[in-house]
Amino acid sequence: MNERTFRHSDAHKLEDPERRRWLPVDAVLAALELRPGMDVADIGAGTGYFTLPLARAVGPEGRVRAVDLQPEMLALLRAKLALPDSPANVELVEGAAHRTHLADGSCNLVLIANVWHELDEHSAALKETARLLRRGGRLAILDWRSDVDRPPGPPLDHRWPLEKTLRTLETSGWSIDRHTYVGGYSYLVVARKPAAG
């Protein structure tokens, strides 16, 4: 963890109903082109803002692995999963973007949502993501725009601009499928793993 890491003590902010307005889950899921039966890793899952909708979208034949480096966040998500009508296809994993503890080739899609700007080692996270993805697998990076001031979100000097994220991916051999703005404060990039990754 570093000074950019979103702390579990602020988890209540992740549950703010206003968040659904400025970061619409449905718009993100539509861009991810999810299908029943997919295996997805939600890196930096937090309290499950995307985990639960992802699990419902891939259906009981699919699986979502919710990875977070803070056990306190996983405990909050575990409590949600214990509620009636919660999806049963979620596995909680304590890990980080550069070390998820997931198996090689275990995912069709890796989502890194609002975590990219927190990472110290982007190349290590990309290498780990490539290891997790099956052939034709995709990475989706959702993060804070640097051209829209807060609140919400981290300080502007903590954010990674979209152009820098695109350059980082392309330099590392990833193929950009698409990039777009989502809601009022975020961008989304979807990329395919390098052929040799």
Q: Does residue 31 have a pLDDT over 70?
A: yes
Residue 1 within any structural domain of the chain: no
pLDDT in tens, 130-180: 999 999 999 999 999 999 987 788 888 889 999 999 999 999 999 999 999
Predicted pLDDT of residue 8: 59
Q: What is the CATH number of the domain that holds 20?
A: 3.40.50.150
Query: How many whole angstroms separate alpha carbon 66 and alpha carbon 63?
Result: 10
- The mean of the pLDDT values for the chain is 91
Selected residue with higher pLDDT from 92 and 149: 92
Residue 197 within any structural domain of the chain: no
Residue 25 within any structural domain of the chain: yes
The rounded percent of the chain whose pLDDT value lies above 70 is 90
Q: Please, which residues have CB within 8 angstroms of residue 82's CB and are 6 or more apart in sequence? A: none
Pick from 58-72, 91-105, 150-164: least confident: 150-164
Please report the sign of the dihedral spanned by the C-alpha atoms of residue 171, residue 181, residue 76, residue 150. Answer: positive
Query: How many whole angstroms separate alpha carbon 96 and alpha carbon 43?
Result: 7
In the chain, the number of structural domains is 1
Residue 152 within any structural domain of the chain: yes
Domain span at 12: 8-192
94 phi, psi to nearest 5 deg: -85, 120
Predicted pLDDT of residue 2: 53
Residue 188 within any structural domain of the chain: yes
Predicted pLDDT of residue 12: 54
Residue 2 within any structural domain of the chain: no
